[in-house]
Chains A and B, each alone.
Chain A
Amino acid sequence: MIGVYTNTTPVDAYRGAGRPEASYLIERMMETAARQLKVDPAELRKKNFITAFPYQTPVIMAYDIGDFHASIDAAMKAIDYAGFPARKAKAKASGKLRGIGVSCYIEACGIAPSKAVGSLGAGVGLWESAEIRVNPVGTIEVLTGSHSHGQGHETTFCQIIAERLGVPISQVSIVHGDTDKVQFGMGTYGSRSLAVGGTAIVKAMEKVEAKAKKIAAHALEASESDIVIENGEFKVTGTDKSIALPMVALAAYTAHNLPDGMEPGLKETAFYDPTNFTFPAGAYICELEVDPGTGKTSFVNFVAADDFGRLINPMIVEGQVHGGLAQGIGQALLEGAVYDDTGQLVTASFMDYTMPRADDLPSFQLSHTTTLCPGNPLGVKGCGEAGAIGASAAVINAITDAIGNNKLEMPATPDRVWHAIHG
């Protein structure tokens, strides 16, 4: 191995890390193949979709589930794919080059089964853990090593617990980001937080609920198997006997009347090591116009149809997709590290490095199709990086479609696009 020092800017894993690159190459190839075969690009993809699951890929991944036809059909419908030729002709009449670009992605998230990553050379295990404390007054604290810096774990994780117990979300709080307080976690990345960290919470909750049911059954003089949890109460099925969660919690801590041999308290920990990766997938279609006089691209519409499995909080999921799309579009059109002939970085500030701004982007049209992930009890797949993975190819496929020249580098700046049109 040879190590060298350079004066180029440091690089690191970026949203999607590896999947945007792979997806971009595959989807540019699909588009190129369709054009050379004179087949509709969406049709060519449909012909090649995997439809039987589980599907063992030649590399380590075994796709567990998916419905890729559902995603592309939803995207084609949303953008009125069939109506595109008419819109293109109309745009042409007003001197604009209109193009449409499809991109279908699949990614591996929920990283990862520790054994699998160990076999690939990873030096760590990729589990997550959770601790759940039910306080004597019935409020619930969740300690998680899965940190949030804007992804909304404080909301989504609390929702999981509030839904299971039927208590108001305000009774649940999340403690994270402080290793003085919580077990260290393996990190928020790879769209893994809900699939792995969220499942650890479910596992800890199962233990809490099992113990709480024993306490409730003892207090109600009923059989443990008859206890159900509804609206924050432990009920004996088929009777009107019940005990509320705070009373169960109080009983756990006063320890005056617990089943023989039971430890006081209501606090449980679980570690969760996933059994498989998860495989979010989707179809993105971008419609845009290029001004042949300036090479400038303007968006007409951008639709995204994703399958992330079960959505716990659709609003947060959509926010993640919006941000991912913006990053993918940024790569496609605007962002790049530029050096001059002497090796000087000339994109060293926001003055020169083009971060997408509000007027560079369209509003997005999102939809979801659902196949529940069989690998975890929540049925979730992960949504944090999808936008950044699928967007770039859709944009470049659309521009190359518009200008009729398949050779175009990212970022497709007006200068590059103009030269691709005029040679």
Chain B
Amino acid sequence: MSTVKLTVNGKAVSVDVEDRTLLVHLLRENLNLTGTHVGCDTSQCGACVVHVDGRAVKSCTMLAGQAAGSNVTTIEGLAKGDELHPMQAAFRDNHGLQCGYCTPGMIMSAVDIVHRHGGKLDEETVRHELEGNICRCTGYHNIVKAVLDAAGRMKVAQAAE
């Protein structure tokens, strides 16, 4: 057992976990943040994507101990109170989700994609960048639409800040 100290969604937490514990299990089981999903456990599906120090990471592929001292954001930490993050709002408006299983990971990956590409995105880039996230419901059509829509909204939001 080790004590892992990290910041999750802006709050400092300290959790005692077995050394083999994966970050996703620390989040889901110790912190009850079940918005982050597990779809495969083998780094294939992207349902477990969270941000670690601002970068999208498959949390099923990282030991909890490796995240010690880091700043972790999960899907629960994205909205500002009742106000959805522009990516969440775009997924909602564009019907970018059906069963919702892939959605938390999709959104966390998508936010990272927009950050890295600075809002200069086209369909091909979005499709290529989403390669690590599997969705069985939407055929990706509306997810791609949502990400492009959000990229525009995030640019506007940034300009306003």
Query: B134 to chain A: which residues have CB within 8 Å?
Result: 350, 355, 357
Interface residues of B in 86-128 (CB under 8 A from A): 95, 97-100, 123, 126-128
- CA of A319 to CA of B92 in the docked complex: distance in angstroms? 12
- B139 near A323: Cβ-Cβ < 8 Å: yes
- A350 near B42: Cβ-Cβ < 8 Å: yes
B56 is an interface residue with CB less than 8 A from chain A: no
- B130 near A359: Cβ-Cβ < 8 Å: yes
Contact (A358, B140) CB under 8 Å given A316-B95, A349-B40, A349-B44: yes
B29 is an interface residue with CB less than 8 A from chain A: no
- B126 near A358: Cβ-Cβ < 8 Å: yes
Query: B136 to chain A: which residues have CB within 8 Å?
Result: 323, 327, 355
- B138 near A322: Cβ-Cβ < 8 Å: yes
Give min CB distance, A293 to chain B, whole Å: 21
Q: Which of B95, B99, B139 has the most CB of A within 10 A?
A: B139
- A357 near B130: Cβ-Cβ < 8 Å: yes
- B95 near A326: Cβ-Cβ < 8 Å: no
Query: A407 to chain B: which residues have CB within 8 Å?
Result: none
- CA of A150 to CA of B44 in the docked complex: distance in angstroms? 22
Query: B45 to chain A: which residues have CB within 8 Å?
Result: 350
- CA of A138 to CA of B141 in the docked complex: distance in angstroms? 38
A363 is an interface residue with CB less than 8 A from chain B: yes
Band of interface residues on B: 20 to 34
Question: Mind listing 10 A-B residue pairs with CB under 8 Å?
Answer: A150-B137, A315-B95, A319-B138, A349-B44, A350-B42, A351-B42, A356-B140, A358-B143, A359-B127, A359-B131
- Which of B42, B44, B98, B127 has a CB less than 8 Å from the CB of A151? B98
Contact (A323, B98) CB under 8 Å given A355-B136, A357-B130, A363-B144: yes
- CA of A235 to CA of B69 in the docked complex: distance in angstroms? 66
B133 is an interface residue with CB less than 8 A from chain A: yes
Nearest A residue to B132 via CB reads A357
Interface residues of B in 124-161 (CB under 8 A from A): 126-128, 130-131, 133-145
- CA of A363 to CA of B144 in the docked complex: distance in angstroms? 9
- A150 near B130: Cβ-Cβ < 8 Å: no
**Residues 8-24 of chain A: 1 if any B CB is under 8 Å from the residue's CB, otherwise 0?**
00000000000000000
- CA of A149 to CA of B137 in the docked complex: distance in angstroms? 10
**Residues 51-89 of chain B: 1 if any A CB is under 8 Å from the residue's CB, otherwise 0?**
000000000000000000000000000000000000000
Among all A-B residue pairs, the 7 with the closest Cβ atoms = A150-B99, A326-B139, A350-B44, A150-B98, A322-B139, A358-B130, A322-B141
Query: A323 to chain B: which residues have CB within 8 Å?
Result: 98, 136-139
Query: B98 to chain A: which residues have CB within 8 Å?
Result: 150-152, 319, 323
- CA of A322 to CA of B135 in the docked complex: distance in angstroms? 11
Interface residues of A in 312-327 (CB under 8 A from B): 315-316, 318-319, 322-327
Q: Which of B98, B123, B135 has the most CB of A within 10 A?
A: B98
Nearest B residue to A357 via CB reads B131
- B100 near A326: Cβ-Cβ < 8 Å: no
Nearest A residue to B130 via CB reads A358
- B40 near A358: Cβ-Cβ < 8 Å: no
Band of interface residues on A: 20 to 34
Query: B139 to chain A: which residues have CB within 8 Å?
Result: 322-327, 356, 361, 364, 387
- B141 near A363: Cβ-Cβ < 8 Å: yes
- CA of A364 to CA of B123 in the docked complex: distance in angstroms? 13
Contact (A359, B142) CB under 8 Å given A149-B99, A323-B137, A350-B40: no
Q: Which of B133, B134, B136 has the most CB of A within 10 A?
A: B136
Interface residues of A in 354-384 (CB under 8 A from B): 355-359, 361, 363-364
Give min CB distance, A87 to chain B, whole Å: 20
Nearest B residue to A320 via CB reads B98
Query: B127 to chain A: which residues have CB within 8 Å?
Result: 358-359, 361
Query: A150 to chain B: which residues have CB within 8 Å?
Result: 97-100, 137
Query: B126 to chain A: which residues have CB within 8 Å?
Result: 358
- CA of A364 to CA of B144 in the docked complex: distance in angstroms? 11
Nearest A residue to B42 via CB reads A349
- CA of A191 to CA of B84 in the docked complex: distance in angstroms? 32
- CA of A326 to CA of B136 in the docked complex: distance in angstroms? 8
- A326 near B44: Cβ-Cβ < 8 Å: no
Contact (A363, B95) CB under 8 Å given A150-B100, A349-B44, A350-B42: no
- B95 near A319: Cβ-Cβ < 8 Å: yes
Nearest A residue to B98 via CB reads A150
Given contact pairs A358-B140, A359-B128, A363-B145, enumerate 18 new A-B contacts (beta carbons under 8 Å).
A150-B97, A150-B98, A151-B98, A316-B95, A318-B142, A319-B95, A319-B137, A322-B142, A326-B140, A351-B42, A355-B134, A358-B126, A358-B133, A358-B135, A358-B143, A361-B140, A363-B123, A387-B139
- A358 near B44: Cβ-Cβ < 8 Å: no
**Residues 19-49 of chain B: 1 if any A CB is under 8 Å from the residue's CB, otherwise 0?**
0000000000000000000001010110000
Query: A149 to chain B: which residues have CB within 8 Å?
Result: 99
Nearest A residue to B143 via CB reads A358
- CA of A379 to CA of B51 in the docked complex: distance in angstroms? 47
- CA of A206 to CA of B58 in the docked complex: distance in angstroms? 51
Give min CB distance, A322 to chain B, whole Å: 4
